[in-house]
């Protein structure tokens, strides 16, 4: 999810709005970015169904279960896809597509795109 400093109980994350780095408490669920003053969600999400919005954005991780059917933009630190998604997938670290995962859209990430074998 980001660099962690266990002794201080903080971690470093990057804001998805302005890309600014910030130090946040490990247990925090959301914070306001000190650079752009916008809310940054820090939670890791597990999606099992659909999502009514236009995007899923978090500084944490997103896991899309095999029962999920999404038509949204997804932005997170790491994304694991086991369901179906139609829309762009953007990850700062990695995107992984499992054996039941299907993606229709573009992908941007630092690490490689993975597909687990059947």
pLDDT recorded at residue 76: 92
Q: Rounded CA gap, 57 and 72, in Å?
A: 10
* Average pLDDT over every residue of 50-59: 90
For residues 11 and 8, give the distance between their C-alpha atoms in angstroms, rounded to a whole number.
9
pLDDT value of residue 92: 87
What is the reported pLDDT for 112? 53
Q: Is the pTM of this model over 0.85?
A: no
pLDDT at 36 over 90: yes
Rounded Cα distance between 42 and 22, Å, is 11
Q: Using CB atoms within 10 A of its CB, is residue 88 exposed (0-12), middle (13-18) or buried (19+)?
A: middle
- CA–CA distance, 96 with 40 (Å, rounded to integer): 23
Using the predicted structure, report yes or no on whether residue 46 has a pLDDT greater than 50: yes
For all residues of the chain together, what is the average pLDDT? Answer: 86
């Amino acid at each position: 999810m980001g660099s962690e400093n266990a002794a201080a109980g903080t971690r470093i994350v990057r804001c998805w709005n302005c890309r600014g780095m910030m130090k946040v408490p490990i247990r925090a669920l959301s914070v306001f970015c000190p650079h752009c003053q916008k809310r940054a969600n820090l939670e890791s999400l597990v999606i099992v169904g659909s999502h009514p919005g236009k995007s899923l954005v978090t500084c944490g991780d997103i896991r899309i279960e095999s029962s999920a059917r999404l038509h949204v933009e997804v932005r997170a630190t790491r994304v694991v896809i086991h369901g179906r998604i139609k829309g762009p997938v953007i990850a700062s670290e990695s995107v992984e597509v499992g054996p039941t995962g299907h993606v229709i859209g573009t992908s941007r990430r630092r690490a490689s795109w993975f597909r687990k074998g059947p």
